[in-house]
Structure 1
Amino acid sequence: MDEAVQGGKAPKYGVMICGHGSRSKSAVTEFAVLAEKLAPMFPDWPVEYGYLEFATPVIKTGLDKLREQGVTHVLAVPGMLFAAGHAKNDIPSVLNTYASEHGITIQYGRELAVDLQMLQAAGDRISAALAEADAANGPVPRSETCLVVIGRGASDPDANSNISKIARMLWEGMGFGWAEVGYSGVTFPLVQPCLEHVTRLGFKRIVVFPYFLFSGILIDRIYGFTDEVADAHPDIEIIKAGYLNDHPKVIATFADRVREILNGSNNMNCAMCKYRAQVLGFENEVGLPQESHHHHVEGQGVSAPGSNVEDCDLCDHFCTGACRLDAGHSHDHSHD
């Protein structure tokens, strides 16, 4: 972000955690808890948070709170696993606009990315699910178990490819017999066809792990399709691992991202970014302007349309994403 003149005075730092936002009350609550747990790691700096869309407080409100506490230099990080359009375009656009309007310095950190601590957190969630299944139903060798890692899915192929790397490292590191990758939306394969494919591979046990930070509509979708496939294949044990949430290693990685803004390497890996390089199939997106497309749903909160399955005529027990098959509305807002 652009540096602001601070009159020769030492800057007062503050930390801003920039979340995506969700229509799910539980997801919004979990993000707030994460921000609260991060605060003790920076006892000399105020820590605030805000959301890009749907939920409140919005990012601007969090920045306002930092300024009210005398902050002149904001260290902002995206509360996101990987760098796709929201981390690369939408959030920086909001931060740049705010810094320009209010004359403060905002430096922007990188996403959580593929990180050893994040892999350890993922491994813990998967191991806990396996241990519970072993206790309930008897042990199954990992060599006879297939791991399925489900990512969010994005319009950025570089971000999507990171899920494959996460899955591969968990596969080899934990000794599974096989691993597959699926996505909750936007790209392919989607959850249900991915799981149906895996049931034909001959494994006794399948463990489904959502590589997500928080709960929400998409977690409900992943678990809902998992239950449906499990019901259709009673001869296979299909278990659901927990998502990352506020695992201590996740909190530690967020803290690292804040510190490295001032003290370390703060570079996103842009080698395969579709906005900077001619990625196969995305050549026409090189050099697109950095701007936000989410003003129309900013701060709408859990009252936004589509927040509840009860209000949907297309879904019964969980959000299946069927509404996005509507060809008349090509921009997907059912993020969480």
Structure 2
Amino acid sequence: MTKKEEKLGVMICGHGSRNKGAVGEFARLAAGLRKRFPDLPVDYGYLEFANPVIHSGLDNLREQGCTRILAVPGMLFAAGHAKNDIPSVLNTYQAKHPEISLEYGRELAVDTRMVQAAAARIQEAIDAAGGDVKPEETLLMVVGRGASDPDANSNVSKITRMLWEGFGFGWAETSYSGVTFPLVEPGLEHAVKLGYKRIIVFPYFLFTGVLVQRIYNFADDVAARHPDIEFINAGYLNDHPKVIDTMQERVNEILEGANNMNCQLCKYREQVLGFEAEIGLPQESHHHHVEGLGDEAECKLCDVTCTGECDSKGADAHTHSHSHEHSHSHGYGHHHHHGDDHGHDHHHHPYPHADHPHGPKSMLKGDA
């Protein structure tokens, strides 16, 4: 096939959620990217808990005549989903359809445009709160998703630092919604001891869902215990134009041949302190058992806006009800050229700090 006969298509690969609001927001992000590539078919799909699934989106592109599909992960950082689970799905599809070329791009990552989007959400919250609290009297708490991959976790800290220096805040801290440490509540309890007048809580998340609502709930709980400090809950990233700009650039990077992930700190390739046992572990996915559950897996406690009601009912994160909080610590390669065996007995390499006093086991109130 000559380059002239080649037909390009773009595929956005998301995680998926039981929350209708999160699924709707991802669909709007995909619609935003379509506007950036008006001459190309653009589709999307999810790993789990929602439809369409990734292979359905790929089918749509192939049926439209696409012979070269550029797939990008709709994810902030390269942890298990971006390094392993999505490539595994793409491997399987490529093996079934060798007539097409399927190429995988990199995550949104640490990018000046992403920092600008984050800054816009924080500034919106400051403007809405009003008052005359100075930046140097303010502490910023950036909350990441949390992963068993220290490289992904450290990227949240880098975002925090760039926002800290950019705004000139008096102090900034990083915490995580799960998997690693420190978690939101112990992180905020530490932060209140530093003596700042205002604390801004900013979830560095793309979309809504139980984890974002849980962050806000913990912030409200800590605020109630410390009424002398002003707490502000900033909005998450959502479909900010700068986010779409970044995703557009990730597609262009594939075309330019500049879409390499950062392997220098990858625990599956290098001797990362504390994670040495995970070098070279096999690439395998564990999402097939919840792929495309759709309506039957949809959260029934909330409508579109997540209230976190599932926490109060003891259901733990309905977006991750099959224990994703554990770690995702089986092996992840950076490229999708290994076969995927969906018949394996998937297991998870133990996260080395699973018993940390400020970590995963203290995620929910009442946990040890």
Q: TM-score, normalized by length of structure 2? A: 0.82
Give, in whole Å, the separation in 1 of the partners of 2:308 and 2:31: 35
Which amino acid in 1 is paired with 2:126? L
After superposition, where does 1:194-273 map in structure 2 within 5 Å? 194-273=187-266
Partner residue, 1:44: 39
Give, in whole Å, the separation in 1 of the partners of 2:251 and 2:290: 27
Any gaps of 5 or more consecutive residues in structure 1?
1-5
Give, in whole Å, the separation in 1 of the partners of 2:189 and 2:233: 15
Which amino acid in 1 is paired with 2:171? W
Q: Per the alignment, do residues 213 and 331 of structure 1 end up closer, same or farther by CA in structure 2, a change over 3 Å counting?
A: closer
Give, in whole Å, the separation in 2 of the partners of 1:97 and 1:293: 13
- Alpha-carbon displacement from aligned partner over 1:233-274 (angstroms, at most 9, x marks no partner): 111100000000010000000000001101252111110001
Partner residue, 2:129: 133
- Alpha-carbon displacement from aligned partner over 1:110-152 (angstroms, at most 9, x marks no partner): 0000000000010110011011111xxx210010000000000
Is the contact made by 2:214 and 2:308 (CA closer than 8 Å) also made in structure 1? no
Shift in Å, 1:317? 3.9
Which amino acid in 2 is paired with 1:95? L
Is the contact made by 2:11 and 2:42 (CA closer than 8 Å) also made in structure 1? yes
Is the contact made by 2:160 and 2:172 (CA closer than 8 Å) also made in structure 1? yes
Partner residue, 2:13: 18
Q: TM-score, normalized by length of structure 1? A: 0.90
Partner residue, 1:190: 183
Is the contact made by 1:220 and 1:319 (CA closer than 8 Å) also made in structure 2? no
In percent, how many aligned pairs have the same letter?
67
Partner residue, 1:89: 84
Give, in whole Å, the separation in 2 of the partners of 1:237 and 1:147: 12
SS of the counterpart of 1:319?
A: helix
Partner residue, 1:34: 29
Out of 44, 50, 67, the position equivalent to 2:62 is: 67
Is the contact made by 1:27 and 1:214 (CA closer than 8 Å) also made in structure 2? yes
Q: Per the alignment, do residues 99 and 35 of structure 1 end up closer, same or farther by CA in structure 2, a change over 3 Å counting?
A: same
Is 2:178 the counterpart of 1:155? no
- Alpha-carbon displacement from aligned partner over 1:177-235 (angstroms, at most 9, x marks no partner): 00000000000001111111111111100000000000011111111111111111111
Which amino acid in 2 is paired with 1:92? P
Give, in whole Å, the separation in 2 of the partners of 1:189 and 1:321: 24
Which amino acid in 1 is paired with 2:274? G
SS of the counterpart of 2:200?
A: strand
Q: Per the alignment, do residues 184 and 316 of structure 1 end up closer, same or farther by CA in structure 2, a change over 3 Å counting?
A: closer
Give, in whole Å, the separation in 2 of the partners of 1:23 and 1:186: 19
Which amino acid in 2 is paired with 1:128? E
Give, in whole Å, the separation in 2 of the partners of 1:227 and 1:56: 33
Partner residue, 1:283: 276
Question: Mean alpha-carbon deviation: is it higher for 95-104 or for 153-162?
Answer: 95-104
Any gaps of 5 or more consecutive residues in structure 2?
329-368
SS of the counterpart of 2:141?
A: strand
